[in-house]
Structures are given as C-alpha cells and as structure tokens.
Chains A and B, each alone.
Chain A
Amino acid sequence: MERQVILNEKHLELTLKRLSHELIESHLDFSQTVLVGLQPRGIHLVSHLKATLEKILKKPVTCGNLDITFFRDDFRRRERPLIPSITNLNFSIENKKVVLVDDVLYTGRTIRSGLDALMTFGRPSKVELLVLIDRRFQRDLPIQADYVGKAVDTLISERVSVEWKETVVLFTKE
C-alpha cells in the first residue's frame, strides 16, 4: 500500500483557519447558524472547527452530530447490517442555517442521506456543505460542497482517509 500525505499538520491548521474565516464571512456571528457533523467521521472535523471558530469569535458555536445509517440507500446491499452511531442534536434547526460537515466528499450518497436525515428534525432556512477533502469528478449524484478544504483528483481504486491523531492528519492513497 502506497501512502501519500495530502495535508500535513501545518497545512491542516491553515486550512481549518481558512474554512473558519470563510464560514464567518457568510454566517457572521453564528447566531442563526449551527454546525452538524455527519457520523461517524464528520464529528471530528466539527469539533476542530468549533474550537477554531470559538477562538476567533470568542463566543460559543452550536454544534451537533447526525447519524445517517437508517437513511442510507445501500441497506441489504451489504454483507452486514449497518450499525448506527449516536445522533446528538439538542437544539431546533427550524429556520436555522445549517452547515453539514463531513471529512471526505466522494460519491455524494452520504450527503444525500444526511439531507434526508436532517429534514426529519424540522425545516432549516438554508443548508450548506463543508468538506475537508473533495474528491472531484467522482460524484454519483449532483451534489457539490460550498466550502472545500482541499480538492484532489483521485482514481476509484484509490482510497482517501482522514486519520485524526492529536490533530495530525494523514491522507493516504493506496
């Protein structure tokens, strides 16, 4: 397996800062905006973003986790049933601006499920998408991100993974 680092620790810190500033540009003080991380891997990115945003804004930012297992379109197409993670949305999303957060945008199917799952909690006024890595030209569905950490061109045979180790991130290609 060949590993290739796409973003190292230093780049990641810069990228998180840039994404935070981009978010602030359109959401100002976050009084009407919430961040929702998609389980299982989007939640790490949310906690990093939350920390960065709160440092800049000097006020708390509302964040939640959303599990999309039951909304996936590949139930019974896999060997094993998908075991759900925890959903933690202790606030109303009614008329709020929601930023969905995930680590890698690939086929767009997870985001499609995420949108459906999100709507069961109410009617947000606007939904945007933030991803750390965008695997361009690999979409199965017409879904694009509003905020992108880094866009990469990959082959289907390759795998992109985010390994959160004390804020060190390695992206590996195999």
Chain B
Amino acid sequence: MTNISVDHLTGIKDLTKEDIELIFKTADSFKEVINRPIKKVPSLRDITIANIFFENSTRTRLSFELAEKRLSADVVNFSASGSSVKKGETLIDTVNNILSMKVDMVVMRHSSPGAAEFLSKKVNARIINAGDGTHEHPTQALLDAYSIREKLGKVAGKKVVIVGDILHSRVALSNIYCLQKLGAEVMVCGPTTLIPKYIHELGVHVSHNLVEALEWCDVANMLRIQLERQDIKFFPSLREYTMLFGLNKEILNSLSKEIVVMHPGPINRGVEITSDVADSKQSIILQQVENGVAIRMAVIYLLAAKIER
C-alpha cells in the first residue's frame, strides 16, 4: 500500500484506514523534516497550489501555506473579501479562472457544506477541503488523531469525548469518522440543543453531563461555540453554558485519572476552557498546531503524486 485511494481530499468519510495510516507514516517523515535547520524539501517545485478561502481562518490557512512552501510548491492566496466574488461571480467561474493560470491543486474553505465535493467534480485540479460549512474539516481530524497517536502511542481502543457545539462543528463530524476508522470509541457531550438529532446513527455515545463524560474518556476535545453559525438561541447564555460544559482546573483535578485535553482552536478562553487548563501540562493544543503542518505536507505530497504530468 503505497498510494492513497482518493484523488481529492473532500472528507474523511471517503478515506480508508490504510489511507489514514499512510498519511500518518508520511507525516512522521515530514515532522522530522520541519525540525531540521533547513525546513524545506524540493519535492513539489513544479506544482502550483491556490489557497481559496471564502471564510475566515488563521491557523488552517497559515498551516497550509507553510506546508506548501516547505514542499517548495508555488503558492497563490485568495480570500473572498476584496475579490470579484463580491461582484457576483459564481464559485465555478472563480475557480476556473484561477485554474486557467495553470494551478494544479486547490485548497478551499467555503461556508456551504459539500462545496469541495462539488468542485472536485467540476474542475480539473486536485481539491483539498479546508472546511466546508458544518460538514467536514478532514485535515483537522487527521492532525487531531495524529496528535493522540503521538501522545498516547496509538488511537485504537482509546476513548475520546468531543465536547461542545457538535451541531455546527465540521471538526466534530470529521473527528468522529477518523477516530472510528482507527478503532477508537467516540462520545459527544453538550447541551441537547447542540447535539444533532440523528447522531446515534454514527455509532457514538451521547452524554449531557461533562463530569460523567470526562470520567469515561482518555482524551477530551473541547470545541468552540460557533456563535457565527447560530441564527437562533440554542442556550440561555454563554455564562450558563460555561457553568455546565466549560472545562476548568477544578474539574480536571477531581477526575480519577489524567486525561489529555485538546482544542482545535480558536480558543474562547473562559468559555469552553479556562486559561489554566489550556496552558496546562495535560493540554496538547500547541502540539496539534505543530502536527498540522506535517499532516498537511503529507496530504499534499500524496495527492500531488497523482497529478498527471
């Protein structure tokens, strides 16, 4: 098994367990590369990649750009604000115009679920989904699972709880697919209104009690409340949410075992997680960011190998 089974990375759902393990193995090598004095390899010097972001991003965008540059690819960046999208251009037109300038690969974030999948069927380039609305965020799930593997040695058999706004979270859905494919058990925890109605069909446990969920798990992935996607009120106040589902040092210390704390960022300190927890020894939040570059290098490298010359 030396080849990834997909031509585009639109979601974890399409990947096999072997694909994920291949990505991890390749990422191991890239992690070694980015810790060298010269953090760059010439593999992709004849490839051009466009980063098209229709939604805001700091980490993902920087991480992709760094990954691309460390592989020696040429990079063009595009963000929806300040572009012709505002003048009424359609998604396909925008992307096809960019591709006419001889771009081989597109990394896209879009607010509509399925945008990456749609694009992969319409345009002639490799597509990497960097988040499509509330649907999937595959590279985040890969780097989360990779960080768990690094911290705990393996993913299989581990218990992971995802806490927070599951309903609006693409990170949650991609994480569930990824962790289950690797043999981990997943639980989601949050207020009833923020848990999707049919979540049971994915084969995950559900809890509405934070302490109970934390006692069960080896790893807790704390998610942000996505107020920008909530057009109605899902809970009375942020203060009440924090009291019931916010992770603080007191709760962490009261648990019978030491758990690993993760967060995909951006953190709302004092809401879903307090500063002393986010900055504690048990938190691997910054390792997740470091691993993000290695994982994205691996994904880009493996997909780039499939571009015809």
Contacts and interface: CB of A to CB of B under 8 A. Distances in A.
Interface stretch (B30-38, B105-113, B168-176, B240-248): B30-38
B37 A120 contact: yes
B161 interface: no
B305 to A, nearest CB: 3
Contacts of B302: 81
Contact of A70 (B3, B25, B33, B37): B33
B40 A76 contact: no
Chain A CB count within 10 A is highest, among B22, B25, B33, for B33
A84 B33 CA distance: 11
A106 B309 CA distance: 26
B2 A120 contact: no
Given A70-B42, A71-B42, A76 B37 contact: no
Chain B interface size, under 10 / 10 to 19 / 20 to 34 / 35 or more: 20 to 34
Nearest to A84: B29
Interface string A62-99: 00000101111001110011011111000000000000
Given A70-B33, A76-B309, A84 B26 contact: yes
B38 A76 contact: no
Interface in B279-309: 301-302, 304-307, 309
Residue among A69, A83, A86, A87 with most chain B CB within 10 A: A83
How many chain A residues sit at the interface, stated as a range, is 20 to 34
A51 interface: no
A71 B41 contact: yes
Contacts of A121: 36-38
B43 interface: yes
A145 to B, nearest CB: 24
B42 A80 contact: no
A129 to B, nearest CB: 21
Given A76-B305, A87-B29, A70 B43 contact: yes
Contacts of A85: 29
Nearest to A81: B305
Could you tell me the dominant secondary structure of chain B's interface residues? Answer: loop
B38 A83 contact: no
Contacts of B29: 67, 69-70, 84-87
A60 interface: no
A69 B36 CA distance: 15
Interface string A1-19: 0000000000000000000
Contact of A77 (B42, B301, B309): B309
A120 B43 contact: no
A35 to B, nearest CB: 19
B276 to A, nearest CB: 35
B242 to A, nearest CB: 45
A120 B35 CA distance: 11
B35 to A, nearest CB: 10
Contacts of B22: 83
A138 to B, nearest CB: 24
Most buried by B among A69, A70, A77: A70
Contacts of B32: 86-87
A75 B305 contact: yes
B37 A81 contact: no
Contacts of B36: 120-121
Interface of A: 67, 69-72, 75-77, 80-81, 83-87, 116, 119-122
Given A81-B306, A86-B29, A121-B36, 17 more contacts: A70-B29, A70-B301, A71-B41, A71-B43, A72-B43, A75-B44, A76-B46, A76-B304, A77-B309, A81-B2, A83-B22, A119-B38, A120-B33, A120-B36, A121-B37, A121-B38, A122-B37
Complex A-B, nearest 5 residue pairs according to Cβ-Cβ distance, in ascending order: A81-B305, A70-B41, A120-B38, A84-B29, A70-B43
15 contacts: A67-B29, A70-B41, A70-B42, A70-B71, A71-B42, A71-B43, A75-B305, A76-B307, A77-B309, A81-B306, A83-B22, A84-B29, A87-B32, A119-B38, A121-B38
